[in-house]
């Protein structure tokens, strides 16, 4: 009954063994000399300047989300390109509609100024 899951169990056990081995070997073989400078918040040895948490402008998040949205949408073009000849005119029409929706969103963002960096 559980025979199909044996390879998954073996892979899981190998992953656990490798993780335990790496953690144990780094603890045993790694350097242990800690100095006050190494225990400071930054390993570079520099004293922290300013607050640890800074406000990030929303513009960074907007640009990141726009990049992710358009990146994911462009990924959908790859499978279409692979089977382009098999789909025929109907597939071309569907991809044209998809591209039109993508283009409308891009023009909307452009007109709203979301792509303008100040």
Q: List per-block mean pLDDT (blocks of 10 residues) for the chain, which spans 118 residues.
A: 92 97 92 75 65 79 83 84 87 90 87 79
| Cα 60 from Cα 118, distance rounded (Å) | 11
Q: Mind giving me the DSSP string for 48-112?
A: P-S-SS----HHHHHHHHHHHHHHHHHHTHHHHHHTHHHHHHHHHHHHHHHHHHHHHHHHHHHHH
And the tokens for 35?
């100095």
Residue 40: its pLDDT value, please? 67
Residue 76: its pLDDT value, please? 83
Residue 9: its pLDDT value, please? 96
Residue 46: its pLDDT value, please? 66
Decide if 73 contacts 102 (C-beta within 8 A). yes
And the tokens for 101?
């929706």
Residue 48: its pLDDT value, please? 67
Residue 100: its pLDDT value, please? 92
- Tell me the pTM: 0.47
What own/partner pairs with CB < 8 Å and gap ≥ 24 does 59-67 have? 59/117, 59/118, 62/114, 63/114, 63/117, 66/109, 66/114, 66/115
Instruction: Using DSSP, state whether 1 is helix, strand or coil.
Output: coil
């Amino acid at each position: 009954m559980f025979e199909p899951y044996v390879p998954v169990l073996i892979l899981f056990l190998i992953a656990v063994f490798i993780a335990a081995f790496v953690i144990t070997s780094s603890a045993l073989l790694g350097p242990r000399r800690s100095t006050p400078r190494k225990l400071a918040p930054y390993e570079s040895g520099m004293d922290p300047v300013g607050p640890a948490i800074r406000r990030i402008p929303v513009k960074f998040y907007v640009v990141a989300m726009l990049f992710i949205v358009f990146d994911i949408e462009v990924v959908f073009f790859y499978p279409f390109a692979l089977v382009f000849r098999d789909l025929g005119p109907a597939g071309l029409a569907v991809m044209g509609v998809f591209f039109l929706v993508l283009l409308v969103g891009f023009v909307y963002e452009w007109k709203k100024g979301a792509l303008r960096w100040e």
